[in-house]
Amino acid sequence: MSVCLSCSSNDSNLLYDFGELPAVNKFFSQDDVDSEKKYPLVLNYCKVCFLVQIEEVPPAEDLYQDYHHKSSASAGNVDHLKSFKDFIVDNFDLKTNILEIGSNDSTLLNLLNEEGFDIIGIDPAINLNQDDKNVISSFFNTEIVEKISNNYGKFDLIFGLNVFAHSKDFLDMFLAANELLKTDGTFIFEVAYADKTILKGNFDTIYHEHVCSYTLTSLNKVLSIAGFKIIDAYEIDTQGGSLRLVCKKLSTNLKTNNRFIKLLDREKKLGYSEVEFYESIAKSIQTKVDKINQFFESLYEKNQKILFIGAPARGVVVINLVKSLNKKNCIVIDDTKEKQNKLFPGTHIPVTQWEKVDFGNYDIAIILSWNYSDYLLDKLTSYGFKKDVYTLIPDIKKIS
Domain boundaries defined on the chain = 302-398
Digitized pLDDT (tens) for each residue of the chain, 400 residues in all: 589 999 999 999 999 999 999 999 999 999 999 999 999 999 999 999 999 999 998 887 777 656 556 677 677 789 999 999 999 999 999 999 999 999 988 999 999 999 999 999 999 877 666 666 789 999 999 999 999 999 999 999 999 999 999 888 999 999 999 999 999 999 999 999 999 899 999 999 999 989 999 999 999 999 999 999 999 999 999 878 899 999 999 999 999 999 999 999 999 999 999 988 998 899 999 999 999 999 999 999 999 999 999 999 999 999 999 999 999 999 999 999 999 999 999 999 999 999 999 999 999 999 999 989 999 999 999 999 999 999 999 999 999 9
Q: Is 363 exposed, middle or buried (0-12, 13-18, 19+ CB in 10 A)?
A: middle
**The predicted structure's pLDDT at residue 63:** 78
**The predicted structure's pLDDT at residue 1:** 55
**The predicted structure's pLDDT at residue 76:** 78
Half-sphere exposure of 193 (CA within 13 A, CB side): 20
Q: Nearest to residue 75, comparing CAs of 235, 308, 310?
A: 310
Q: Nearest to residue 149, comparing CAs of 118, 177, 180, 175?
A: 180
| Cross-strand bridge partners of residue 300 | none
Q: How far apart are CA 261 and CA 289, in angstroms?
A: 34
DSSP-derived pairing of the beta strands 155-161 and 97-101: parallel
**The predicted structure's pLDDT at residue 400:** 93
Q: How far apart are CA 272 and CA 393, in angstroms?
A: 22
What dotted CATH number matches 302-398?
Answer: 3.40.50.720
Q: Is 2 exposed, middle or buried (0-12, 13-18, 19+ CB in 10 A)?
A: middle
Would the CA dihedral through 205, 206, 208, 213 be positive or negative? positive
**Within the chain, what is the greatest distance between any pair of CA atoms?**
65
**The predicted structure's pLDDT at residue 131:** 63
**The predicted structure's pLDDT at residue 59:** 83
Bond into 345 cis (ω within 30)? no
Q: How far apart are CA 132 and CA 121, in angstroms?
A: 9
